[in-house]
């Protein structure tokens, strides 16, 4: 009887099942995501996550244990060099299983299994959302309404006093020249027309 036995045999014997899971785990470590059936993806998650946990401590014993399960030295090297440093802070849950619908031939449930920390789409969206919220809060806090008025006052206070020795504008220079000329010749010279008009006025009188 199968009471309390949660192992999914996947329709295969022990040797075949272990070889299949080792090959799928090596492909997942190399490509960071693979497509397979939902049952195989769930079985692979139980198989590969303990190996990722062992890779956090880089020791000879852990490398030998992982190699005995994967049977691929290149996958072991990739796991300890690339994946372990990136998932070091995560306490489990290194993989994600996403359902992809049914297969056309036999209508089997398909799924995508991937490493969580190597998904660029989800990580970029989360980082952008965090940045926008932080920026909006910082702007509201950094620019209160009370600080605007003192800045304008400071600008008015910092204006430099007028210097008497500073060069004057062109219009000011022309005004001073005309004023000096008027002071030198206060009465304008009489023209011929003005003299004739004055003589006519005397004759009429």
pTM higher than 0.85: no
Compute the chain's Rg from CA coordinates.
Answer: 45
**Structural domain of 34:** 14-116
178-199 residue pLDDT tens: 666 656 655 555 555 565 666 6
Q: Is residue 87 part of a domain?
A: yes
Q: Is residue 70 part of a domain?
A: yes
Domain of residue 95, CATH code: 3.90.1030.10
More reliable by pLDDT, 176 or 29: 29
Q: Is residue 189 part of a domain?
A: no
CA distance 22 to 43: 11
Q: How confident is the model at residue 130 (pLDDT cuts 50, 70, 90)?
A: low
Return the SS3 of 139: helix
* pLDDT > 60? residue 116: yes
Q: Is residue 150 part of a domain?
A: no
Q: Is residue 169 part of a domain?
A: no
């Amino acid at each position: 009887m199968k009471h309390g036995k949660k192992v999914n045999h996947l329709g295969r014997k022990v040797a075949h099942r272990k070889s299949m899971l080792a090959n799928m785990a090596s492909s997942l470590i190399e490509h960071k995501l693979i497509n397979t059936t939902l049952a195989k993806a769930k079985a692979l998650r139980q198989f590969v996550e303990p190996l990722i946990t062992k890779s956090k401590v880089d020791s000879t014993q852990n490398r030998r244990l992982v190699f005995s399960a994967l049977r691929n030295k290149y996958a072991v090297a990739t796991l300890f060099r690339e994946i372990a440093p990136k998932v070091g802070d995560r306490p489990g849950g290194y993989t994600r299983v996403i359902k992809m619908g049914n297969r056309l031939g036999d209508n089997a449930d398909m799924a995508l299994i991937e490493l969580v920390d190597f998904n660029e789409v989800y990580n970029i969206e989360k980082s952008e959302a965090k940045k926008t919220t932080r920026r909006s809060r910082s702007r509201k806090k950094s620019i209160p309404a009370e600080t605007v008025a003192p800045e304008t006052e400071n600008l008015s206070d910092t204006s430099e006093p007028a210097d008497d020795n500073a060069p004057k504008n062109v219009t000011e220079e022309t005004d001073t020249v005309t004023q000096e000329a008027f002071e030198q010749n206060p009465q304008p010279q009489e023209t011929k027309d003005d003299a004739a008009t004055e003589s006519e006025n005397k004759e009429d009188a």
